[in-house]
Chains A and B, each alone.
Chain A
């Protein structure tokens, strides 16, 4: 088999690079997991970034960014095997943001883990900024996929997961979808395919914040019973409180043990979480806070 070479790469990653990597990530999961309390602070910090970024930009999607903050925090600060100094490291775990409108949240996590300077966050949506309105993989270090047209990230993630199998690499693929996004038929084409190909290195996390632009998902397009849908498509399905970091981490751990099928984590969340007047307020799906609102929000997030 011509894959001999690749097997070597997996088994013996260049020793010096591995060492450097371990040192560089010492503040992160692999070397020393953060406590749940410390992670909570990180999530709060990401929320502050989201408010500041969208307020400065004057547009953007705070609601769905705020609802996913714990999910992203758990992944980036405690779970993913990644190296911010080498965003294209072939053996990195992949995180694919399918709900591309949560770009402010992803940028905040990427900046806080060292992919680019935190100051750059405030250039969100400005002409020629690397902080594009929706994620653009050709522009931003650490962004795996260009997204914003919904329903496409799961298919893309299957491709990455299958490549790992072909190359005998042991990285894992995590993809975050919105629950409104699950209206898209392509999500279910992909759900069927992932299970058919038995890609067990793939985890789909659905941010079940129950809201989409036009209102409650129950009113606009009811996706219930959502967990049963994923189960019936052959996925190992776990439901968690998407704001409880311990639950998210436990589910991610559980997914690692699942063989022969992909895992779906339905994370029950609140849209706009963390800011009283944004919570469950569909207005803030796609509207930035005014300077006054931002000030109030940041006070709540102190």
Chain B
């Protein structure tokens, strides 16, 4: 069993470290600082932490104003509220003026589980990728989350870094180096490429391992930056493996699958398959029950790979 860690805890700790190094780091939250773990920062820097209450739209405006005055601002809440609740505020005040605001929500996807559809964030990547000027990142584990947060703090401009509620397996070693806009090929392979993000990366690695039994040699790519997309890695995968499966904890449209398919269609069309949340709102349930319902499991990936391989010319 691999070690498991919270990406949001990695975020809180990274913020604390950044706060100690840089007095211009300011953190905002919307009454969820215990869940998003911005509280770790707030405890040490109360004067640089503002709880905006349950008012996400106002929070995004305040974040923009602070950023316009030279601050590096982190704003956190749940992903569903950070994206759809205040879409226009982010568009007007952060995206168009390219403000130095890092929106780092927790509770992305359906692994929020029992809270139900109101809290499931299944459209957020589509919404955030739709903004010009935004960089959108979905870290695969706590190691990458910490590095992505640091990279965002050190890079001017708006970011969206989606974290999740449950602990996720540690799959990247401490020697891993996250670079904005660069995908990491975690496993070489020649028959098919699985391009995944977030907690689907660990599952993709496990599926690739299992598929050796069937004589299938999978490449696994961690596409943690959805925007800007690492087109070179995608084109290379299309050319060298001839088939691409995407896997994401997000609706099929507008997220990783959509974005990768645009690159494939444009530069080197090959058979593709898209493992994603299906086009309906999910009920309450245990996170793993919901993931199973949408086929976002190791077995689901294996099955999708087998059927994709059968479509290779």
Contact = CB atoms under 8 A, between A and B. Distances in A.
Contacts of A153: 61
Main secondary structure of the interface of B (DSSP, over half): helix
A167 B26 CA distance: 12
A157 B65 contact: yes
Contacts of B71: 163, 166
Contacts of B97: 137-138, 145-146
B131 interface: no
Interface in A136-160: 136-138, 144-149, 152-160
A157 B65 CA distance: 6
B66 A160 contact: yes
Nearest to B65: A159
B251 to A, nearest CB: 26
Contact of A193 (B47, B52, B98): B52
B89 A152 contact: yes
Contact of A162 (B57, B66, B93, B98): B66
B65 A146 contact: no
B69 A167 contact: yes
A34 interface: no
Contacts of A156: 61-62, 64-65, 68, 93
Contact of A159 (B53, B68, B91, B92): B68
B53 A192 contact: yes
B58 A186 contact: yes
A149 B67 CA distance: 19
Interface string B62-93: 11111111110100000000000000110111
Given A166-B26, A166-B47, A166-B48, A158 B65 contact: yes
Contacts of A90: 70
A154 B92 contact: no
Which of A138, A145, A155, A189 has most chain B Cβ within 10 Å?
A: A155
A195 to B, nearest CB: 12
B288 interface: no
A3 interface: yes
A144 B57 CA distance: 19
A189 B57 contact: yes
Contacts of A196: 53
A155 B65 CA distance: 7
Which of B47, B58, B88, B96 has most chain A Cβ within 10 Å?
A: B58
B117 interface: no
Interface string A176-211: 000000000110011011001100000000000000
Interface string A242-276: 00000000000000000000000000000000000
A133 B266 CA distance: 36
Contact of B61 (A136, A154, A163, A185): A154
A176 B259 CA distance: 41
Given A3-B23, A90-B70, A159 B62 contact: yes
A161 B65 CA distance: 8
Interface string B271-308: 00000000000000000000000000000000000000
Contacts of B48: 166
A159 B66 contact: yes
Interface in B14-69: 23, 26, 47-48, 50, 52-53, 55, 57-69
A164 interface: yes
A146 B61 contact: no
Contact of B60 (A154, A155, A167, A197): A155
A262 to B, nearest CB: 13
Given A146-B92, A193-B55, A162 B23 contact: no
B15 to A, nearest CB: 16
Contacts of A145: 68, 93, 97
Contacts of A190: 58, 61-62
A159 B67 contact: yes
Given A154-B61, A155-B60, A144 B68 contact: yes
B185 to A, nearest CB: 37
A2 interface: yes
A152 B92 contact: yes
B68 A155 contact: no
Nearest to A165: B47
Contacts of B64: 155-156, 159
B96 A138 contact: yes
A56 B86 CA distance: 36
A155 B57 contact: yes
Contact of A197 (B50, B70, B88, B91): B50
9 contacts: A3-B23, A137-B68, A152-B57, A152-B61, A156-B62, A158-B61, A159-B66, A162-B66, A197-B50
Q: Which 6 A-B pairs have the closest CB atoms?
A: A159-B65, A155-B61, A163-B69, A189-B58, A189-B55, A159-B66
Interface of A: 2-3, 90, 136-138, 144-149, 152-164, 166-167, 185-186, 189-190, 192-193, 196-197
Given A149-B92, A155-B59, 20 more contacts: A2-B23, A90-B70, A144-B68, A145-B68, A146-B93, A152-B61, A153-B61, A155-B61, A156-B61, A156-B93, A159-B64, A159-B69, A159-B73, A160-B68, A162-B65, A163-B65, A163-B69, A164-B69, A166-B26, A193-B52
